[in-house]
Every structure is written in structure tokens, then in C-alpha cells.
């Protein structure tokens, strides 16, 4: 049976409309870095982490190249990276030029159904510092 995964949250005090309120906020954990990912992949595939890292970097570089060429790139199981443009409306077709319409270009990500399912299946648990932890004195 698949192990149940959790997102950890903690209650934080915030000002909402000038009133003190409490809001559940995600507790940030350490990043899953590319080095750690490479290490974990290497364990599963009996390949050296450095070699995995090299392939992943080449893979990301190539995805980047395609995105900057205007393509959408789909990583199966994860989602799609694509160039995202915001443009404004103008009154006439003649006014619809790049300089008049294009406001911003950035990169977007659309999660796959698998990723959405993983997120939906994750539970929540409240952050609880270890009960036996001794408070720092001084």
C-alpha cells in the first residue's frame, strides 16, 4: 500500500482587515535540490549521481531551448511548460501590433492529471515541535 504523504502547516497570526486573525500556512521544508534528486534517481537505477545529474541538466537545457523557441513542452506525468503571453485588446486590426498589444511574456506550467492527483491525495498535518525538546535558556 502506498505510504500516505502529508503537507505540514502551522497556524500563523496575521492582520486581516486590521484585526488579528489566525491562518493556516504551509511550513516550508528544505528544497528537493537537483543533487538530491540525482542521488535518489541513481539509487533506483544503479547509475552514478554525477551521470544522472548530467542527463537531467541536458534534458532541462533542451526543454528550456524549446520553450524559448515558442514551444510547449510536456513532461509525461508531471505537466507542461509553455511560454505565456499577456496581451491587451485594441479597437482595430491595424492597431494589433506586437508593440501595442503584448504586455508581458513569462513561462507557465500546467500540472498533469497525475500531479494533480498526487496533490489531492496528500493530507495535512499540523506542525508539532518535538514534545521532549528543551527550550533554549537565556
According to the binding rule CB under 8 A, does residue 49 interact with other proteins? no
Task: Return contacts of 4-9, CB within 8 angstroms, 24+ apart.
Answer: 4/123, 5/121, 5/122, 5/123, 6/122, 6/123, 6/124, 6/125, 7/122, 7/123, 7/124, 7/125, 8/124, 8/125, 8/126, 8/127, 9/124, 9/125, 9/126, 9/127
127 lines the binding site for other proteins (CB under 8 A): no
Q: Which is nearer to other proteins, 109 or 131 (CB)?
A: 109
* CB-CB contact of 25 with 13 (8 Å): no
Restricting to residues 16-35, name those near other proteins by CB under 8 A.
16, 21-34
Examine residue 48 and tell whether it contacts other proteins (CB under 8 A): no
Least distance from C-beta 124 to other proteins, angstroms?
4
Q: Is 60 in the site for other proteins (CB under 8 A)?
A: yes
Among residues 1, 18, 49, 121, the one that binds other proteins under rule CB under 8 A: 121
Confirm or reject binding of residue 115 to other proteins (CB under 8 A). Answer: yes
Question: What does the DSSP 8-state code read for residue 95?
Answer: T
Q: Is 107 in the site for other proteins (CB under 8 A)?
A: yes
User: CB neighbours (10 Å) of residue 80?
Assistant: 14
Q: Does 137 bind other proteins (CB under 8 A)?
A: no
Q: Is 101 in the site for other proteins (CB under 8 A)?
A: yes
DSSP three-state, residue 81: strand
Chain positions 80 to 99 lying near other proteins, rule: CB under 8 A, are: 80-81, 83, 85, 87-93, 95-99
Amino acid at each position: 500500500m502506498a505510504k500516505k504523504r502529508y503537507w505540514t502547516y502551522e497556524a500563523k497570526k496575521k492582520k486581516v482587515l486590521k484585526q488579528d486573525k489566525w491562518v493556516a500556512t504551509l511550513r516550508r521544508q528544505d528544497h528537493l535540490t537537483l543533487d538530491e534528486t540525482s542521488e535518489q534517481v541513481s539509487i533506483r537505477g544503479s547509475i552514478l549521481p554525477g551521470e544522472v545529474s548530467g542527463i537531467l541538466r541536458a534534458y532541462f537545457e533542451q526543454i528550456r531551448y524549446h520553450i524559448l523557441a515558442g514551444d510547449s513542452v510536456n513532461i509525461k506525468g508531471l505537466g507542461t511548460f509553455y511560454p505565456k503571453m499577456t496581451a491587451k485588446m485594441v479597437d482595430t486590426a491595424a492597431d494589433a501590433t506586437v508593440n501595442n498589444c503584448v504586455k508581458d511574456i513569462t513561462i507557465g506550467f500546467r500540472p498533469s492529471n497525475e500531479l494533480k492527483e498526487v496533490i489531492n491525495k496528500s493530507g495535512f498535518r499540523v506542525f508539532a515541535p518535538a514534545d521532549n525538546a528543551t527550550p533554549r535558556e537565556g
